[in-house]
Amino acid sequence: MVNLHLTMLDFFTPFITIALAELGDKSQISIFLLSSRIKNHFILLLGVMCGFAIVDGIAIFTGSWVVTLVPREFITIIAGVLFLVLGLLMIFQRIEPDDESPKLSKNTFLLGFTAIGLSEWGDKTQIAGALFALEYSPFVVFAAVMAALLLLSVIALVAGKLLAKKVNPRVTKRIAGVIFVILGIVSFL
């Protein structure tokens, strides 16, 4: 009975902590905004979860020192540039939002993967996952972190999809673009 209690503690401590820390984070905002523009939500979710799995998995399974391998400032600059470019493309792109371009739908997985992979490297949840793995079973911590991120990502996807149905696609495209530009600018501060 003690072993089951410890395993549940190993799972729910990181699950709750990561879920609360990630709620409203830039990655969830990105997923929300991308899902309002992309029709293939399942492929987007796969890309997002692969990004989370790699970034957080590396941290969890190799320990907290991993976040020092690549300077956080470097990743922050790349993420900021990515958010700025995506935002500006969304604001100034002439393609109608209803007609998702073949290029965008072919790259849906890569878009989700890259957005998460870059924005999460050195993020508080990656560091927290690495620290939890020092105290709890890394496999249980990984499962808990991924479960929390999946739950929040699905919520963000559904909310973005609902927004796309309720609001004019041109408006959501412009709002998403402005928010991405703001996220890009903030990452440089």
pLDDT tens string 39-62: 888 999 999 999 999 999 988 888
- Is 58 in contact with 123 (CB distance < 8 Å)? no
102-106: long-range contacts, CB 8 A cutoff, minimum separation 24: 104/37, 104/38, 105/38, 105/39, 105/40
C-alpha dist (Å) from residue 176 to 33, 68, 111, 118, 126: 6, 32, 15, 18, 25
pLDDT of residue 167: 73
Each residue's pLDDT tens digit, 141-167: 999 999 999 999 999 999 888 877 777
| Per-residue b or e along 95-131, where b marks 16 or more CB atoms closer than 10 Å to that residue's CB | eebeebeeebeebbbebbbbbbbbbbbbbebbbbbbb
* This prediction's pTM: 0.73
